[in-house]
Amino acid sequence: MSFASETAKALNAGDAQGAPKAASAKVAARGVNVHYGEKHALKDVFVDIPEKAVTAFIGPSGCGKSTFLRCINRMNDTISTCRVTGEITIDGKDIYDRMLDPVLLRARVGMVFQKPNPFPKSIYENVAYGPRLHGLARSKAELDEIVVRSLRRASLFEEVKDRLDDPGTGLSGGQQQRLCIARAIAVSPEVILMDEPCSALDPIATAKIEELIDELRENFTIVIVTHSMQQAARVSQRTAFFHLGSLVEEGATDQIFTNPKDRRTQDYITGRFG
Amino acid sequence: MTEAIKAPAPTAFRGVDPYSAESMARMKRRYRAEARFKFFGLAAVLVAGVFVLALLGDIIRKGMPAFFEHRALLEITLSAETIDPKGTRDPAELRAADYQRLVYDALRNQFPNVKERRLRRKLEGLVSAGAGDDLRVRVLADPSLIGKTIRMPVLLSDDADLHLKGKGTRIERADGGGALALNLDGGAVELRGASAFAAPLGALKGVLRSRADALSRDLSRIPPSRPGMDNTALDAQRMELTQRRDGLRKRADDAGSTEALDPTLLPSLVVEAGGGMFLLSEIGKDSARGTVLVAPSDGVTEVKAWRVATYVTPEADRRVTDAEIAWLEALRAKGQLQNAFATRFFTNGDSREPELAGIRGALTGSALTLLVTLLFCLPIGVGAAVYLEEFAPKNRLTDILEVNINNLAAVPSIVFGLLGLAMFLNFFGLPRSAPLVGGLVLALLVLPTIIIASRAALKAVPPSIKEAALGVGASHQQAIFHHVLPLAMPGIMTGTIIGMAHALGETAPLLMIGMVAFIVDVPAGVTDAATVLPVQIYLWSDLPEMAFQTRTAAAIMVLLGFLFVMNGAAILLRRRFERRW
């Protein structure tokens, strides 16, 4: 680990020169490697993700950004051939610690997926599922309050307040995605991972989600994977560029988009490949 | 190889010219091939449809009569001496009385002229052996009937029933010409009238001629004698047939001769006159002799209106005798016959008497067996599917397991029967012929089907649902049981119903564990001896009585009905809960 931490220091030191330094790292990755069977999908990633800010992962398809995202809530554990090495900490605590159950980790690190995937149940049940699972509500009234508050925070409540018992799958795509966000924040996670949350949505729904992300930043640490560089530029404070399984460059979003240090980053954001 | 890649042969590429003769011809060939394929498909569908319709039509035609039964309305005198000689009205006494005797007495009152013992037996044979039981039920329900005379429909025997359903012989009736003098002498009768029997006699001669022609055809089929071989048997046969044919021809050609009505050769002629029925044994142009089957009204010696009924099939070629037909026709003429829906087909167990046999025992047995099957194979099948699909490590062992589950679905069902015999009966000592064991065997049989269908249904649920559940912190099992399994349930239920329908129709494995016995009682529990519907069909189809053949077809109809309902439910379920992602 000494090598890893030294490299991390070097990395942070490098950062400190131009860009605003991350206030405090909520999530920190130290030398993370991911193998899918024989395939080396993620190579030696060191990154700090600051608290109460939006960090965007960009990069061409298959570059490992989604893989890394799924390491943060140990979603990769569900893939039997997947092997993760290295260290990822949240608030300084190793999330791959054997004492930590991934199920509880996922209650702290929520996730929103590429395609809106509400449960084929009522809107209310969609949001109430998580709190009920973790015993977060002691009474029906409390559960109701959690549901309403979560829907409100996902700015969906006004649209669905009269039909909480209708199936969640009956909503429009953008509403479904906001429902998924409401479902994720209902268990009060500290980190929310978003895996291309707008790729299946039209521009208007996308704008709403982006607006929502901006609001959520006040209370949550958000990591978003996106294919759209405009989106990364609009919503994120920090950006990390992945290429061929490696983290090429990470820094303040302004700096990455205006003054990238790496040639590959420059080529990517100017649209020369990817 | 590498050389070829390095230096490709120069080829001239050309595009498609849609107007060239070549491409037009190619297109024509394509369309012809397509039209041919469509034609074959349509033809296959039509042929299959015709066969299905023919099969169903045949089964329905054969089976429908079994849903109806004929009864005779009889005046039954419930004499207190027979039913309750001690006068105690004790139900045990009442139950033990000989009600069948009362029914026979009522029938004999109807035909008082039947005195000969053999004929009386025949007459009593018209009603079912179970007729007395119906009477017993009625009397036990209302003992105040004792001493009274009631008019009650009495179930007829299977042969009588079949005759009335038109399965015996065709009856042709012709009005007789002129006056007819009756000369009764005990059981015999002589009928006279000028040229009274000319027409039936002529018809008889016609029948003789056609019989002679049939013999001629038989003769022509005898192979010719061959030189150098022993031809004595052939020659003798030829000689005999020729003689018989010539005899028949001679009788047929002699228009004036009297004919003896041979019951093995000729139709039976019955004269219906003056309320009586007379079976002719000898017929001439002006007179005929015969026996009295049904006595005419008292003192009738001459009648103007009379009929000759011809029972076309010779008596020797049918199960009901002339006398029985005459009695039935007499009952019919008096309006004493009823044809009604046979509820007892659904309320009775099996019986040796076809008219009493019903499918209730088999239906109950099938229901109990299927219940056991469902209770065992649904939880185990779904559990196995969930484990294999979601939890089992993917390694060589589970691969082998999976291949073998698929193989099990193709194992002949009788092998499962042998397994059941060895395991459940011989090793565990479970009772023979019981729905419990049948259900276990069938559960083994449909388990692979259910596992395969359930796995397919689980696989069809999009992984995003599971990920969503995992994403909010559900454990793997919670994600499966809260979200994936409920979504897979319609598919699982469809598979299960189809598996159950398969089990309902299964016969072979049940034969091995003894569910093939003749069981009269309706089973009351899963350990009682029972049989199931398809086995009942198999048992009945083996019996010689014609009436059991119709019952076989009727039971097939019931079984098919259940299968249609079950498969329909499966389709409905699939439609109703079909989900597009």
Residue by residue, DSSP assigns B444-495 as HHHHHHHHHHHHHHHHHS-HHHHHHHHHTT--HHHHIIIIIHHHHHHHHHHH
pLDDT higher than 80, residue B35: yes
Residue B240 shares a structural domain with residue B310: yes
A76-98, pLDDT tens digit by residue?
888 888 889 999 999 888 998 88
Please tell me which residue, B225 or B554, carries the higher pLDDT value: B554
Q: Across residues B423-448, what is the average pLDDT?
A: 93
Q: What is the pLDDT of residue B484?
A: 93
How far is Cα B61 from Cα B82, in angstroms, rounded to an integer? 43
pLDDT-derived band at A2 (thresholds 50, 70, 90) equals very low
Question: What are B393's two structure tokens?
Answer: 């490590």
- Which residues constitute the domain of residue B78? 73-152
Contacts of A187 in chain B (CB under 8 A): 472-473
Taking CA–CA distances from A114, the nearest residue in chain B reads B464
Residue B408 shares a structural domain with residue B539: yes
B192-202, pLDDT tens digit by residue?
888 888 888 88
Other beta carbons within 10 angstroms of residue B34's beta carbon come to 10
Q: Which of B359, B333, B330 is nearest to B345 (CA)?
A: B359
Q: Across residues A213-238, what is the average pLDDT?
A: 92
Maximal C-alpha separation, chain B: 123
Q: To the nearest whole number, what is the mean pLDDT of chain B?
A: 89
Supply φ then ψ for residue A22, to 5 degrees: -55, 130
pLDDT higher than 50, residue A19: no
> Are B474 and A103 a contacting pair at CB < 8 A?
yes
- Which of B296, B317, B338 terminates a domain? The answer is B317
The answer to whether residue B147 sits within a structural domain is yes
- Which of B89, B120, B152 terminates a domain? The answer is B152
The answer to whether residue B573 sits within a structural domain is yes
pLDDT higher than 70, residue B265: yes
Q: Across residues B19-29, what is the average pLDDT?
A: 90
Pairing label, strands A39-50, A25-36? antiparallel
Q: What is the pLDDT of residue B126?
A: 92
Residue B566 shares a structural domain with residue B527: yes
Q: Which of A270, A246, A224 is nearest to A63 (CA)?
A: A246
Residue B239 shares a structural domain with residue B144: no
Q: What is the pLDDT of residue B580?
A: 54
pLDDT higher than 80, residue B11: no
Total domains in chain B come to: 3
Pairing label, strands A54-58, A221-225? parallel
Q: What is the pLDDT of residue B198?
A: 84
The answer to whether residue B335 sits within a structural domain is no
B520-530, pLDDT tens digit by residue?
889 998 999 99
> Are B394 and A80 a contacting pair at CB < 8 A?
yes
Long-range contacts (CB closer than 8 Å, 24 or more residues apart) made by A171-176: A171/A118, A171/A123, A172/A205, A173/A116, A173/A200, A173/A201, A173/A202, A173/A205, A174/A201, A174/A202, A174/A204, A174/A205, A174/A206, A174/A208, A174/A209, A175/A205, A176/A116, A176/A118
Residue B369 shares a structural domain with residue B302: no
B65 DSSP assignment: G
pLDDT higher than 90, residue B455: yes
Residue B385: CATH number of its domain: 1.10.3720.10
The answer to whether residue B28 sits within a structural domain is no
> Are A115 and B464 a contacting pair at CB < 8 A?
yes
Residue B396 shares a structural domain with residue B266: no
Residue B553 carries which side chain, given as an amino acid letter? Answer: A
- Which of B124, B152, B180 terminates a domain? The answer is B152
The answer to whether residue B143 sits within a structural domain is yes
Residue B118 shares a structural domain with residue B181: no
Q: What is the percentage of chain B residues whose pLDDT exceeds 70?
A: 97
Contacts of B472 in chain A (CB under 8 A): 106-107, 110, 129-130, 133, 183-184, 186-187
B287-302, pLDDT tens digit by residue?
888 988 888 887 778 8
Q: What is the pLDDT of residue B9?
A: 61
Asked if residue B194 lies in contact with residue B178, where contact means CB atoms within 8 angstroms, the answer is yes
Residue with tokens 């040229």: B195
Residue B104 shares a structural domain with residue B188: no
pLDDT higher than 50, residue A5: no
Question: What are B35's two structure tokens?
Answer: 């039209």
Q: To the nearest whole number, what is the mean pLDDT of chain A?
A: 86
Residue B241 shares a structural domain with residue B376: no
> Are A183 and B465 a contacting pair at CB < 8 A?
no
Asked if residue A81 lies in contact with residue A88, where contact means CB atoms within 8 angstroms, the answer is no
Q: Which of B170, B168, B163, B150 is nearest to B339 (CA)?
A: B163
Q: Across residues B18-26, what is the average pLDDT?
A: 88
Q: What is the pLDDT of residue A15?
A: 44
Q: What is the pLDDT of residue B579?
A: 63
> Are A120 and B473 a contacting pair at CB < 8 A?
no
Residue B449 shares a structural domain with residue B568: yes
Which of B472, B475, B478 should one mutate to test binding to chain A, selecting the residue with the greatest count of A CBs within 10 A?
B472
The answer to whether residue B497 sits within a structural domain is yes
B103-158, pLDDT tens digit by residue?
999 999 888 888 888 889 999 999 999 898 999 999 889 888 888 899 999 999 99
Q: What is the pLDDT of residue B17?
A: 82
Q: Across residues B53-73, what is the average pLDDT?
A: 93
Give me the CATH topology for the region A2-269: Rossmann fold (3.40.50)
pLDDT-derived band at A22 (thresholds 50, 70, 90) equals very low
Other beta carbons within 10 angstroms of residue B553's beta carbon come to 21
Q: Across residues B63-90, what is the average pLDDT?
A: 88
